[in-house]
Amino acid sequence: MTLSNYEPKRVLHHFEAISQIPRGSGNEKAVSDYIAAFTKALGLEVVQDALYNLIIYKPAAAGYEGQAPLILQGHLDMVCEKNAGTAHDFTRDPLELYVDGDYLRARGTTLGADNGIAVAMCMALLEATDIAHPPLEIVLTTDEEAGMGGALNLDFSLLKGRRMINLDSSDENAFIAGCAAGTIADYELPVTWEAPGEFSQFFKIAVKGLVGGHSGGDIHLRRGNAIRILGNTLSAIYNDADTKIDKLLIEMGAKTDIEIRVASVSGGMKVNAIPREAEALIAIKPADATKLQEFFDKQSARRKRLHATTDPKLDISLTPASPANKVLSETCAKKLIYSLILLPSGVLHMSRDLEGLVDASNNIGALETLSDSIKITCMPRASSNELNQQTESEIGKLAALTGAKFIFTQRSPAWPFNPKSDMLAKFAVSYKGKHGRDAKITAIHAGLECGIFVDNLPGIDIISMGPTIHDLHTPDERLSISSAARVWDFLCEVLGEMK
């Protein structure tokens, strides 16, 4: 398709071009090379580092030569999620874009407007000859969606600017002036295997049909987490006869006294996406098959009722499966199930300072069975580094009790909310002058790279903005085309006011 009939034309032209280049996290070389070549063809200076981060310098427009440099920042990578049954290889295939009313979407996959629209706007600015602006330092980072590795390893000595516009927000009517700290943590539970023995009949439990979403931006919507639901389902059918509470729940009909074994578990794709699907392979004694199915049907109906408001298409099924030649030991299965139901999940604290803002959360984002362990990948977030460390400590204590190894693979700092920001005040005045109403000024629970810039460039003043994008990190991701046009116009205007 072509987007040449839609505004902003040059922005959408560049977005369509980079959508032909696979650019999932860790696979950004090709798109980085493409933009570097584009920049050099314009005669502009570009620095490409070993991680394929780009720093591009554009001299000031006429009349703005004496102004301080301004940093514009976005990221090159995208979250790669697709619907079940969609035949798309994110390492090779271009995105299949299409227009749906006012929205730009990708068929069966994430769109990558997060944050490809920022990249496209920066490219349009680089080639423009009719837009007033101070000297620009455009920073396009890699690996943002998988832990912000690009920004964390950026050479900040190459930047002179102490004013920055981050273009990684998704509400055109809001200016962001703070974001959460984030951690990627691997919880690895060692396992021992044994032969199934008399547990010879196998079933697959599948959880699917959930809405999912961004693990920071959508966590407040309290949508179901497929991995957590799988854990609760396993807990309901797992007979831990050693505990008084399980005995009581069995008497109440909330649990079954069937003995099961667990052969494998899996779920989720990306730690920063609320998982939409998860499954487990379990084994039982053949004589318990009918009893299991009857109990499971009741449990499935109960789970659907619990999530009916947020996830009306939730489906939890139990189907016969091919046998496995090994299962987890009973002790390992118990530790696994306890971990899945006791790991912090979802919203943990709400802010006392900003109404409606999540203060702390944890997303159980991915679940994988390996040969010697079961790996659960989590992403705690919080509005301060100290509060995030509290969640990390809680997960660590559970790991100590279960014998799991707990490893931090990535950390990004918080960007503390700054209501006195000069950039924020300037943008608020410009927005009201253009639209006749006040913009929403807030912080977000999602992670932005702004905290890393704050840590490395003392005194920097940052604001984050962007066009409206819905359902980020899911195959339902969609960009409002009219919003992109309005935000582009506003950005061009405000650049001319940056004196």
Angular region, 348: left φ>0, alpha ψ -120 to 50, beta rest: alpha
Cβ atoms of 12 and 120 closer than 8 Å: yes
- Locate 473 and state its tokens: 């990190």
Scanning 255-378, the segments in alpha helix (DSSP H) are 289-306, 330-342
The C-alpha torsion from 202 through 203 and 205 to 206, rounded to 10°, is 110
The one catalytic residue in 16, 28, 77, 471 is 77
Q: Is 471 a catalytic residue?
A: no
Closest-CA residue to 363 (of 221, 476, 168, 189): 221
For residue 279, indicate whether it is catalytic.
Answer: no
The residue among 226, 232, 190 whose CA lies nearest residue 211 is: 226
The three-state secondary structure class of 136 is strand
What values do phi and psi take at 237, rounded to 5?
Answer: -100, -5
Q: Is 179 left (phi over 0), alpha (psi -120 to 50) or beta?
A: beta
To the nearest 10 degrees (0 to 180), the angle between helices 9-18 and 481-496 is 120
Distances (CA, A) of 75 to 149, 157, 309, 387, 450: 11, 19, 34, 26, 12
- Among the listed residues 28, 81, 137, 144, the single catalytic one is 144
Query: Environment class of residue 347 by beta-carbon count within 10 Å: exposed (0-12), middle (13-18) or buried (19+)?
Result: middle
Q: How far apart are CA 366 and CA 212, in angstroms?
A: 13
Query: How far does CA 32 lie from the centroid of its chain?
Result: 21
Q: What is the 3-state secondary structure (H, E, C) of 149-187?
A: HHHHCCCHHHCCCCEEEECCCCCCCEEECCECEEEEEEE
CA 430, CA 24: separation in Å to the nearest integer? 35
3-state helix, strand, coil split of the chain in percent (to 5) is 30, 25, 40
Provide the terminal-to-terminal Cα distance of the chain, rounded to the nearest Å: 40
Strand partners, 474: none
- E strands, 351-493, are 358-369, 373-382, 405-412, 440-442, 461-464, 469-470, 478-480
Residue 143 to residue 27: CA distance in whole angstroms: 9
Catalytic residues: 77, 144
